[in-house]
Structure 1
């Protein structure tokens, strides 16, 4: 067990825990007895707001929480509220306008009470913004008939001087969330190329949730719900699209979508390009085409798994827009798709049918290169592929993979929340808050929803939540063997370096019997270095290596799911569930770093574990490797089941040993650099191997894309699938592999 004393930072824009059931203390008034009255607003509206940005140049005056009505918005459905809302978002010298690539110093929660807000031009979502509507009665953003602009909400505006320049670099456009809205563009002329709900060109640490998009149902409409031309993100879920030309028009490196419904659109989802886009729990009703995919060529690579789709009265479920060498382009996986009156399940432009539809269920179908065992020669397949053996504990009552919506506690009254700042914690980035936070958890776990006001909370010894196995440094969720409800939302865990012994989060909690997802985290990240206050920035740890190793240790282990635990982890995350910073978010926002963490996620759980849109299935191996060569500057630690074999001094993105029942849908394992140089990319020699499974394990892998790596899959540390046969645009893609 590591023994180095560390400082752990809990950073919160908006965050709240709930710990109840057997994890909590006995309460005279248990949680749940104080539900909100029918006329009460969402608790977030009236709770005391005392959040701060600890490292802002003026934290005492910088305003984190902003209610748009305090800035003059009316929400009366008549007044143009555009200027007032944009003022609420932008005030405080925030990071934007093309002059600031990124910053953690100016976070903001922009809150919209229930109402109808008329807008005539885009609402610009600045960097590190959460736009949150009343979850009890979501407000409507109503685009006026005179609306002009790219979208009702724009997360990355184009600069007016032309040339394609934007406010932010698309693949570094982090930390965004929009939730609890109705976005209505039906008053915008349907044929004038206006009428987009959200321009969502974003990257990691981003989410859209609980949004309804209302669009014209006219046959000549140009309306679309979400437009995304580029980026490297993110997660979206619990969305409904009504009408429109497109529900989603998207191109992005990788994305995860869970629980969306598209009704009456011409095309539910148009996919321009991606390296990996996973759709789980998609319902499509009365559209013309479900998924219309552009495939083939360097910029139009396409890798999409569709899991648990329900499609009705739609002529075509999946259509590709371009054939490739006489065969269907791109890689597809369809797992458990229930079709009702869908004549063509998979087809190509021009009307050719690859897979007939009808009223039927597609159990497990794929298109692309399929591999089994040690056979390094994939078979191009357009047909049935090996089906995963899904343990019943992973499924809901309908037989779909279980999913759980981000908790927002909309039915609770304000009286059911307790603020850590009201109970002695400072969150100022300097004060040791360990004792105050431990006291809060000891007193209120299971009795109140514990609210972390925005801030940076320093912890200098184990934070027991509520009390658990002792270790020096880090946070422990539940004692070993504990069982009960644990929910964590909207929080960032980090370290103040150097911290070579830090286990940042130890997760011991097991969900209550019969309550899938009872122990979980949503929109929660572990961010190591690269931000103000971490002492792991350009000044300490530049990519030149001049900082050395001793001063640039970020952590021993980021997240440890111990053997008795269960976990439901959702939100993107991508590699942002656990991010060892490759560049500095503050300062110039682009300078590369050389910092070290021994391990990312170690899961020893016997299950169930759900990781939806999370870092386990999308990784970037260290840019500095193989200098120093892995495992240096750490050493192999058998107590944590570290691998003992490494290929060419490079880290494993995914290492599976003595494990069973693993199903991997939509993975991206990338090696972009060798000693901070990208000369290795074209030949895919940045590292030799990246993923290994031992022969004692069972796993189903679907839709795996790799970059810069010679062997995509290794068995017992021996490369078996060479990427050369799977080139699919920029990445190389395996449609299916089972050992």
Structure 2
């Protein structure tokens, strides 16, 4: 149920209950759209909702449609995984795509129903999309379209899985025009286990950042046509008999951004004449090719109409590590713009790899071999999902009594007032992101943090599977740790979480909405201090995490926004969460297609961690910082590894949330990371000159850090290596279109374990100290620092000669 929806509202809808036949000949368009829209749901001029969710089920069959099926906000389309339903476009089909997630408004000058970067909470899985009977062109409201499977313009907490796109091939009479997925904008997201057959373009992709895993393209003219991006990770992608695999020749988006970066990992190209084509004259993307097999290719990387940057072969070429773009490899901090094989290939631990030497992956389990009677239903066993009472004891009893059986939590809100314990062997399956919501005085003390959901105890190993859940709070809950993950895998990938998210504030029933916590740069409302931490992976843990979004709300999902709006500034709010994702795991741990946004101290922190894969990850700094700055309102030091910001100067913009800290860690592999700081106390005036924030990434005493395709916005320093030995990596040296890009930052890949800072200057030394020119105006200035340090005097012209005197010290001179 949806507890805050109007009376009689239906969450689960079977399209056949609304008149769809699935017989392959009856036009089922109207019946399916009735099933989707029933209940006055969130469509045009709504913006978003946390209240009116729906799961729309399609039984096996062939559903003939003649206009698009429109997926409303907060909707899941689910087919039978054992017998996927077919959505078939008719010969007289008109419209943008079989499934449309963000309709264009006729006469709206490009306006759509939803703001593309805020298109959250969507899912499509288990379908066949058949475009073979459709005309090669169609017209709707004066606009020409080609056969397209899905118009997918979405953001975080979205996914597609297990979909086959069936498109016609070219004939001697006509070239095929069909497109599998059309995604011209957005910010997300994750998709996996998709197959594209035939067609002109398999996937036409434009978005800020995205992760795609386990895709197969067969007999497409172009596999992937990139419109624009800041970063895109392509993992386990296979191209077979495709003319061009990645076409990166387009320029799109309102800022004329081309392809900013792509990382292609653990992928294969068979009979692909042109694997990657680039725009002649630029802009050129940063490219990472990691563990690729290419067979029968004329060119692997080619400037269209220009030079070949990476020659192909009629035989087989194995690519261990190749890059195009800016790369950093030495301690002197210098970067170079170049392309070619990387001298340093990633040294991957076996624990992170599968039997074929690829990074391990595991698709979201769908339990298709289970019968309905094998699921234990929470609401049939004394657990309430109506956002009332305290369900902690009932949930704990349910979990402990049914270890090894899949436990189904129907859609709804399960209120808890103390810790839920998830024992090893638990299988938890939600529906439409079933919510565990913590509330009450148990979670209120920020100096005494309490765990809301504890997954295993320290030292536990075995199976844990969590999917389709959402973890949240009803404030004030300043001491809540939403999840503590202790369990370690017993076999590779046995402990994991898929399509599950953390959300704090911005939703009905949380007491953390715009009316409670309005946008402000004044004093902090203590009732809006909502969590101590979102997710904590403890030292004994390991885990597999796929499509997990940890979001501190920057706007209210339940305040309506006109379809003409271009942003959510009218619904912004101030929610305060101290920490995002803390990873202390010794591995192996994988994060695929994950994000963490708007926590105060950091979004991701790796502390004493080892054997960690991250790709793609994305962050945003809180919009209200630095009013207050990161030292408020939470007490720093509650957790041992909290950043102190002690080296920030009073006039800097340094005391803001870290996007990523990698501290005392080793064997960390990052494939695409988008770190953004868009605001300075809600003003975007700082973006153009990248002064919204001084630093985004910090490293300290870390070795084996392999960071590929790092792209940032709004920060002066992309990477700040603590310790004063390695200079920062600056935005100004790496600008590439709207974003700032580095293809490979490998400075600490084989060294650096002894370079860092403990936060104690007396113990670490002062590093590089820049002397203020004021010394030349003082009669007898004293300048001092803690050893080891390097003093850099300012340049100055003095009126007469001066003598600088040093106190005696002992040193060693080596000659010869």
What is the TM-score normalised by the length of structure 1?
0.89
Change (3 A) 1:348 1:467: closer
Q: Distance in 2 between matches of 1:660 and 1:295?
A: 38
Q: For the Cα contact (< 8 Å) 2:226–2:259, is it kept in 1? A: no
**1:114-133 equivalent positions in 2, closer than 5 A:** 114-133=60-79
Aligned equivalent of 1:632: 632
**1:421-500 equivalent positions in 2, closer than 5 A:** 421-446=379-404, 448-466=405-423, 472-500=450-478
Q: Distance in 1 between matches of 2:154 and 2:103?
A: 11
> Secondary structure in 2 aligned to 1:653?
strand
Does residue 360 (structure 1) correspond to residue 306 (structure 2)? The answer is no
Change (3 A) 1:298 1:374: farther
Aligned equivalent of 2:706: 700
> Secondary structure in 2 aligned to 1:375?
coil
Aligned equivalent of 1:658: 664
Q: Distance in 2 between matches of 1:93 and 1:313?
A: 50
* Deviation (angstroms), 1:717: 6.7
263-272 or 314-323, which deviates more: 314-323
- The number of residue pairs the alignment matches comes to 674
> Secondary structure in 1 aligned to 2:203?
strand
Aligned equivalent of 2:245: 290
Does residue 254 (structure 1) correspond to residue 209 (structure 2)? The answer is yes
Match of 1:376 among 322, 327, 333: 333
**1:562-573 equivalent positions in 2, closer than 5 A:** 562-571=538-547, 573=548
Q: Distance in 1 between matches of 2:696 and 2:639?
A: 23
> Secondary structure in 2 aligned to 1:270?
strand
Q: Which ranges in structure 1 are unaligned for 5 or more consecutive residues?
A: 1-51
Does residue 606 (structure 1) correspond to residue 582 (structure 2)? The answer is no
Q: Distance in 1 between matches of 2:13 and 2:506?
A: 27
**1:516-531 equivalent positions in 2, closer than 5 A:** 516-531=492-507
Match of 1:737 among 731, 745, 750: 745
User: Which whole-Å deviations, capped at 9, do the CAs of 1:591-625 have from their partners, x for residues lacking one?
Assistant: 11111111000000000010000125210011111
Aligned equivalent of 1:309: 267
Q: For the Cα contact (< 8 Å) 1:125–1:153, is it kept in 2? A: yes
* Deviation (angstroms), 1:435: 1.4
Match of 2:358 among 392, 400, 415: 400
> Secondary structure in 2 aligned to 1:701?
strand
Q: For the Cα contact (< 8 Å) 1:174–1:204, is it kept in 2? A: yes
Match of 2:555 among 557, 577, 583: 583
Aligned equivalent of 1:720: 728
* Deviation (angstroms), 1:640: 3.7
Match of 1:335 among 290, 294, 300: 290
Q: Distance in 2 between matches of 1:467 and 1:727?
A: 47
Match of 1:504 among 466, 482, 491: 482
* Deviation (angstroms), 1:72: 0.6
Does residue 93 (structure 1) correspond to residue 40 (structure 2)? The answer is yes
Match of 2:149 among 197, 201, 221: 197
Q: Distance in 1 between matches of 2:722 and 2:530?
A: 30
Aligned equivalent of 1:213: 165
Aligned equivalent of 1:550: 526
User: Which whole-Å deviations, capped at 9, do the CAs of 1:345-399 have from their partners, x for residues lacking one?
Assistant: 1001115311012211111000000012443331011111232111111111111
Match of 1:178 among 124, 137, 144: 124
Q: For the Cα contact (< 8 Å) 1:191–1:221, is it kept in 2? A: no
Aligned equivalent of 1:669: 675
Q: Distance in 1 between matches of 2:185 and 2:256?
A: 14
65-74 or 347-356, which deviates more: 347-356
Q: Distance in 1 between matches of 2:31 and 2:667?
A: 52
User: Which whole-Å deviations, capped at 9, do the CAs of 1:396-421 have from their partners, x for residues lacking one?
Assistant: 11111111111100011112101110
**1:36-47 equivalent positions in 2, closer than 5 A:** none
Change (3 A) 1:695 1:640: closer
Does residue 65 (structure 1) correspond to residue 12 (structure 2)? The answer is yes
231-240 or 344-353, which deviates more: 344-353
* Deviation (angstroms), 1:545: 4.8
> Secondary structure in 2 aligned to 1:431?
coil
User: Which whole-Å deviations, capped at 9, do the CAs of 1:27-55 have from their partners, x for residues lacking one?
Assistant: xxxxxxxxxxxxxxxxxxxxxxxxx1011
> Secondary structure in 1 aligned to 2:500?
strand
User: Which whole-Å deviations, capped at 9, do the CAs of 1:553-602 have from their partners, x for residues lacking one?
Assistant: 1100100001111110001x4xxx10011111112353111111110000
Q: Distance in 1 between matches of 2:523 and 2:406?
A: 42
> Secondary structure in 1 aligned to 2:156?
coil
Q: Which ranges in structure 2 are unaligned for 5 or more consecutive residues?
A: 139-144, 426-441, 443-448, 562-567, 596-603, 605-616, 649-653, 749-816
Q: Distance in 2 between matches of 1:611 and 1:704?
A: 16
* Deviation (angstroms), 1:720: 1.0
Q: For the Cα contact (< 8 Å) 1:242–1:265, is it kept in 2? A: yes
* Deviation (angstroms), 1:437: 0.6
Q: Distance in 1 between matches of 2:702 and 2:223?
A: 42
User: Which whole-Å deviations, capped at 9, do the CAs of 1:307-339 have from their partners, x for residues lacking one?
Assistant: 011110010111112333xxx711111001101
User: Which whole-Å deviations, capped at 9, do the CAs of 1:49-71 have from their partners, x for residues lacking one?
Assistant: xxx1011132xx11000000111
> Secondary structure in 1 aligned to 2:388?
strand
Q: For the Cα contact (< 8 Å) 2:185–2:208, is it kept in 1? A: yes
> Secondary structure in 2 aligned to 1:187?
coil
> Secondary structure in 2 aligned to 1:599?
strand
Aligned equivalent of 1:102: 48
Q: For the Cα contact (< 8 Å) 1:695–1:715, is it kept in 2? A: no
Q: Distance in 2 between matches of 1:696 and 1:101?
A: 43
* Two-structure CA RMSD over aligned residues (Å): 1.7
Aligned equivalent of 1:561: 537
269-278 or 696-705, which deviates more: 696-705
Match of 1:323 among 278, 281, 289: 281
Q: Distance in 2 between matches of 1:736 and 1:593?
A: 36
Q: Distance in 2 between matches of 1:552 and 1:472?
A: 17
Does residue 81 (structure 1) correspond to residue 28 (structure 2)? The answer is yes
Q: Distance in 2 between matches of 1:310 and 1:62?
A: 47
Q: For the Cα contact (< 8 Å) 1:309–1:338, is it kept in 2? A: yes
* Deviation (angstroms), 1:298: 4.2
Change (3 A) 1:191 1:149: closer
* Deviation (angstroms), 1:725: 1.6
Q: Distance in 2 between matches of 1:331 and 1:233?
A: 19
Q: For the Cα contact (< 8 Å) 1:374–1:720, is it kept in 2? A: no
* Deviation (angstroms), 1:534: 1.1
Match of 1:146 among 75, 92, 105: 92
* Deviation (angstroms), 1:698: 2.7
> Secondary structure in 2 aligned to 1:197?
strand
Aligned equivalent of 1:41: none
* Deviation (angstroms), 1:695: 3.1
> Secondary structure in 1 aligned to 2:728?
strand
Aligned equivalent of 1:45: none
167-176 or 631-640, which deviates more: 631-640
User: Which whole-Å deviations, capped at 9, do the CAs of 1:260-305 have from their partners, x for residues lacking one?
Assistant: 0000000000001000111001000000000000367742242111
* Deviation (angstroms), 1:191: 4.9
Q: Distance in 2 between matches of 1:657 and 1:198?
A: 42
Q: Distance in 2 between matches of 1:394 and 1:190?
A: 45
